[in-house]
Amino acid sequence: SQTIHQWPATLVQPVGSPLSLECTVEGTSNPNLYWYRQAAGRGLQLLFYSVGIGQISSEVPQNLSASRPQDRQFILSSKKLLLSDSGFYLCAWRRGRANYGYTFGSGTRLTVV
C-alpha cells in the first residue's frame, strides 16, 4: 500500500533562518506531488506541484521554493523565513493521469518567531 511521510510535525524557527521540509511517498512510482499551506482557520493554498523529477510548478510568488530530487521525494525550502511564512504545511500525492484524489500527509506546523 502507499504511504506518505512528512516531517517534522512541528517546527519553531526564528525570522531569517532557513527552512527545509521533506515529504516522501512509498509504494508508488511517478506520483504527482503537491505542497499546500493552510493559515489558521483558513483554506488550502496550493504552493507548488510536480509531475516528475526536476519539474516544479509554482502557483504563487513567495519566499519559498520546492525541489524534487528523486521520484518520490519533495522538498519545500526557504533561505530566509518571514513571519508570514507561519502556517500548517501539507504535502500530498496523487496518481498521475488518473481521476484520483490526493492523499495528504500529516502536516508540519511551522511557527516563525
Partner 1 sequence: GENVEQHPSTLSVQEGDSAVIKCTYSDSASNYFPWYKQELGKGPQLIIDIRSNVGEKKDQRIAVTLNKTAKHFSLHITETQPEDSAVYFCAARYSSASKIIFGSGTRLSIRP
Q: Which of 14, 43, 61, 69 binds partner 1 (CB under 8 A)?
A: 43
Size of the site for partner 1 (CB under 8 A): 24
Among residues 49, 81, 110, 112, the one that binds partner 1 under rule CB under 8 A: 49
Q: Which three cell numbers stand for residue 31?
A: 506520483
Closest to 35 in 3D by CA, of 113, 93, 109: 93
Applying CB under 8 A, does 56 fall inside the site for partner 1?
no
State which of residues 37, 68, 72, 94 lies at the interface with partner 1 (CB under 8 A).
Answer: 94
88: its cell numbers = 500548517
Q: Which of 21, 47, 19 is nearest to 112 (CA)?
A: 19
Nearest approach in angstroms of CB 91 to partner 1 is 8
Q: Can you give the binding site for partner 1, defined by CB under 8 A?
A: 6, 32, 34, 42-44, 46, 49, 51, 57, 90, 92, 94, 96, 99-107, 109
